[in-house]
Structure 1
Amino acid sequence: MSAGTQRSTRWPVITKDTGSLRVKPNLADYEAERAAFTWDGVRRALAGLPGSGGLNIAYEAVDRHAAGHLAGTEALRFVRADGSIRSLTYAGLAGDTDRFASVLRTLGIGRGDRVFSLLGRSPELYTAVLGTFKNASVFCPLFSAFGPEPVRQRLYLGSGRALITTRALYRKKVAPIRDSLPELRFVLLVDAEGNPEPGTLDLAGLLQAAPPDQPIAATQPEDMALLHFTSGTTGTPKGAIHVHDAVTAHYATGYFALDLHPDDIYWCTADPGWVTGTSYGIIAPLVHGVTAVVDEEELDVDRWYRILAEHRVTVWYTAPTALRMLMKAGAEKAAGYDLSALRFVASVGEPLNPEVVLWGRDVLGLPVHDNWWQTETGGIMIANYAATPIRPGSMGRPLPGIEAALVARDANGTPVIQDGEARLVTGPGAVGELALRPGWPSMFRGYLNDEERYRRCFAGGWYLTGDLATRDEDGYFWFVGRGDDVIKSSGHLIGPFEVESCLMEHPAVAEAGVIGVPDPVAGEVVKAFVELRPGPEPSEELRLDIIGFARKRLGPAVAPRLLDFTTNLPKTRSGKILRRLLKSRELGLPEGDLSTLEPAVGERS
């Protein structure tokens, strides 16, 4: 995840008249709340598994509500393509998730087994997530726009035992790679309609035959619950492990950062294929017992305004890309809809322009509250709050229970450690690597099967985020830049190595380097620089063919939109492509230290 751009004095601080707010903010006194806060205090607000002393995300999100006065309250409200609604109450969701857990048990899928999904925002996805938790299995969501290779890679690395998907997605993205996944025992189709594909099962039929009211498996706070894959700049995707105790942080951050109240109608636009869509599209709102709106379609300006208006959404959590698209459509679009129910708007996923914060104030009637976190943190770490001033461009201040600092880095970008302790950067405007003191409940507990990579994330008593930031005199953090090359496009995190590897599978491509280039709507788009094998010549036809090849394999969200041919990619002497240099040359920025550059560097053609 990422937050706003660097602080600029030309953007006015947005102050709040808390007395005029429709609902009393949950966090009214920032300093007092931080001083009094404990994670054990949050845990006391949860129920815990009856009789076992354990903790299970699904029980906290569904069953404790279904057993009480919220049983008949809407938990999930699905908006279909035609605008019709399918709703699930907390009681109904409890029954559906019980049946899903029963299906897993019947198939012999048990504690710790990995259950993957490749679905859009359908009711079956939400049932699968929560039912998997009830079975003490581990859920791993995949983005439905992934191509076959990203799907194969994650299923293989995660030792996926079961996959829930649709007939069309199975045929296009799973069937071609099924033979390379010997551990994938079961593929459950949500739309088989009694006639599943060969080698698959009809999920609806299995659910109909499954008994309801099954006991939730006894899980402990440190039991593994979620596996979220996140791309790095080198190597394979990393499987970040999260445990059932993460629900403690989801509850706290939903309360403080999103200001959730019992009567809220809440809409998180993120796809559950990404961590935001799981943590804040499913878990946090349900733990708070609110009604969560789910749009089964993709972004459309009029549709989104219509949903906000017709469903009387009160709290809206979305992405800067979406907000920029609404801005681009013009203020007159918003003027045609009654958005008076909205009381809080928040954003995450990439840098949030100060202009967007002020556009929200002027057009929506509410400023946009930026926040910052990562897949590895599992939940919001730094935020702008309902009752506190906003400094447009700032990611805000750390949540209660979160200690953040800036760690000094040497000339090579390595954290400075002295006598076992990280040296911290202090003073307004000083740049350092954003770091967090370990110990919050949603902190990832490891990278699957890669302890060494996990260990490198910590130094001198801190978790190192890889993002560079500054902090002003009042404790607000300001995003400066990333310490690696991960591309953030329309809220998606894209690892260059994954894209480069795919491009090199094209028969005409010898090598490839991939960077993100600025885009006014998406934040960044993927651009590739390609060296050709002997024989093929650069042409517009070949350019389009390579892009099309990548789109077919990786999906449109990950594949490059732009492609240049080059005769010599800049590399280090050890052969590592210098993406930093590619980006500097593309954007006309200073090239920096070239001491490690390979001697002969060609120019782009």
Structure 2
Amino acid sequence: MLPVLDRSPASRVVHGGTALGPEELLARARSAARRVPPGSRVALDGGDALARLTHFLGADLAGCATLLTEPTWSERERAAVLADAAPHVLLDLDDPGALPGHHHPAPVGDPDTPFYLATTSGSSGRPKVLVRSRRSWLRSFELLDLGLGPRDRVLVPGPLSSSLFLFGALHALHAGADVHLLDRWSAQDAAAAARRATAVHLVPAMLSALLSALERDAGRRAECRLRVVVCGGARVDRELAERLAAVLPGCRLVEYYGSAEHSLIAVRRGGRLRPVVDVEVRDGELWVRSELSCDGHLDHGTVVPTSTDRGWSRVGDRAVRHADGSLEVLGRTSAVINTGARLVGAEEVESVLRGAGGVRDVLVTGTPHPRFGELVTAVVEIDPAAPPSRSGLRARARRALDPAQRPRRWLAVRELPRTPSGKPARALVAEQLRAGSLRAEAW
């Protein structure tokens, strides 16, 4: 049995030209488990998606808490993360050199054993190393019930260093579905893989790019077998949901809202977000009490428990709780722009602009201004094949936004800097704007 799956493997993992059946997947996990001391902290460096997954499962079998390093971290970020994680073993998966063998034929630990050293996305600053138990994700797998089974193949189209994609892969294996791994995001590769995949995990910007690839290729669109699209990381706007329904009629959209610290918080299956854990809104800010939350974060190898108020902890988002119990998330408390003595939620503006034709994605932030404090600034990732109308996008902002919310500065980029999960890297864009190093054109 593999502990974090709560079962022995019952499905295949496909990566490139390799397809591992259940027996070989288990054999590779057992082999990887022998490379690490039981109950240690392990960091996995290098390797492709398949090597990372099998070694992660092997480390879990040995009762280890595992960190998956991210290749795009700066040297400073990497050094800081490794200093906090303080791994007992750093495995370079590109180096076939053998380590001393450790023998532990039976699974080590129990549901409360730490198995994952997750890192926060870095979209709002330096990544933090979180400690997560097996139980927290096993319970999350149950609450995100997608109805998957042995006849399904789940496409995981991004790096496993992102908890969003790692969660998708382990959720599928827990359900007994096949998994199709891509090493990195590519809309064309994802569209090709969708000829056999029945479900996919991604973020809204990736869904938009995938739909564009299918819209441009009638053959691939006709061959696409997707029946479930699972979106996390950001809210899916109405236009994108309608696009999905038009391109892939009958394909079900499941959105979930959560955080690296709290795991799953709410799920949307049509209609509004429905909490799956205890939530409260205090002075406009979301608080959560959840058995799915992490056990704390690491500071130079020492676990620092999460600060709570009788079990309740802040999520860092503004929200509204409706009378029917549903939840509306308004965006990060840190993503508020102070302009002319008005507070503007960046993500509310982004949701309006993101649905416009020719806009692949958009990030809204504040840039310094001597009179207004900050200017609402829209950094628009443009589809070069069908760029948006400048006047049309501004007219859209005038129709849907209050005067204070409308961007006063517009910039165009070919690609927004992104976190490993595919979300726009908000802190990095703000830093590059301050330094004048963002490759953007006034628009």
Q: TM-score, normalised by structure 2?
A: 0.71
Contact 2:286-2:315 at 8 Å conserved across structures: yes
Q: How does 1:112-191 map to 2 (within 5 A)?
A: 113-119=40-46, 121-164=48-91, 188-190=92-94
For 2:228, the equivalent position in structure 1 comes to 344
Give the Å deviation of 1:264. 1.1
Match of 2:172 among 264, 281, 285: 285
- 1:451-479 per-position Cα deviation (integer Å, ceiling 9, x unaligned): 997443x2255232111122334333222
Match of 1:403 among 261, 270, 278: 278
Mapped partners of 1:272, 1:566: distance in 2:
31
Note closer, same or farther for the CA distance 1:277–1:232 as it changes in structure 2 (3 Å cut).
closer
Q: Give the letter aligned to residue 215 of structure 1.
A: P
For the pair 1:524 / 2:363, whether they are aligned, the reply is: yes
For the pair 1:308 / 2:194, whether they are aligned, the reply is: yes
Mapped partners of 2:121, 2:199: distance in 1:
30
Contact 1:232-1:486 at 8 Å conserved across structures: no
Note closer, same or farther for the CA distance 1:239–1:132 as it changes in structure 2 (3 Å cut).
same
Mapped partners of 1:93, 1:435: distance in 2:
39
Give the Å deviation of 1:155. 0.8
- 1:405-442 per-position Cα deviation (integer Å, ceiling 9, x unaligned): x3222xxxxxxxxxxxxxxxxxxxxxx3222223x2x3
For 1:480, the equivalent position in structure 2 comes to 330
Q: Give the letter aligned to residue 110 of structure 1.
A: P
For 1:272, the equivalent position in structure 2 comes to 160
Aligned length: 365
Question: Considering only CA atoms, is the larger Rg found in Structure 1 or Structure 2?
Answer: 1
For 1:228, the equivalent position in structure 2 comes to 118
Contact 1:318-1:346 at 8 Å conserved across structures: yes
For the pair 1:77 / 2:5, whether they are aligned, the reply is: no
For 1:86, the equivalent position in structure 2 comes to 18
For 2:181, the equivalent position in structure 1 comes to 294
Give the Å deviation of 1:189. 4.1
- 1:361-416 per-position Cα deviation (integer Å, ceiling 9, x unaligned): 111112532210110123x321123xxxx13xx4x2123xx223x3222xxxxxxx
Mapped partners of 2:133, 2:21: distance in 1:
26
For the pair 1:368 / 2:260, whether they are aligned, the reply is: no
For 1:29, the equivalent position in structure 2 comes to none
Mapped partners of 2:203, 2:121: distance in 1:
19
For 1:249, the equivalent position in structure 2 comes to 139
Mapped partners of 2:247, 2:125: distance in 1:
44
Mapped partners of 1:460, 1:333: distance in 2:
54
Contact 2:63-2:109 at 8 Å conserved across structures: yes
Mapped partners of 2:158, 2:324: distance in 1:
31
- 1:544-564 per-position Cα deviation (integer Å, ceiling 9, x unaligned): xxxxxxx9xx9x985549845
Q: Give the letter aligned to residue 333 of structure 2.
A: G
For 2:109, the equivalent position in structure 1 comes to 219
Contact 1:321-1:523 at 8 Å conserved across structures: no
For 1:541, the equivalent position in structure 2 comes to none
Mapped partners of 1:485, 1:156: distance in 2:
28
Mapped partners of 1:251, 1:295: distance in 2:
21
Note closer, same or farther for the CA distance 1:303–1:452 as it changes in structure 2 (3 Å cut).
closer
Identity of aligned residues (%): 18
For 2:38, the equivalent position in structure 1 comes to 110
- 1:137-180 per-position Cα deviation (integer Å, ceiling 9, x unaligned): 2101122222222111111111023233xxxxxxxxxxxxxxxx
For 2:150, the equivalent position in structure 1 comes to 262
Note closer, same or farther for the CA distance 1:227–1:119 as it changes in structure 2 (3 Å cut).
same
- 1:465-499 per-position Cα deviation (integer Å, ceiling 9, x unaligned): 11112233433322212112499xxxxxxxxxxxx
Q: How does 1:495-510 map to 2 (within 5 A)?
A: none
Q: Which has the higher strand share?
A: 2
Mapped partners of 2:183, 2:122: distance in 1:
29
Q: More relative contact order in 1 or in 2 (CA 8 Å, sep 6+)?
A: 1
For 2:342, the equivalent position in structure 1 comes to none
Q: TM-score, normalised by structure 1?
A: 0.54
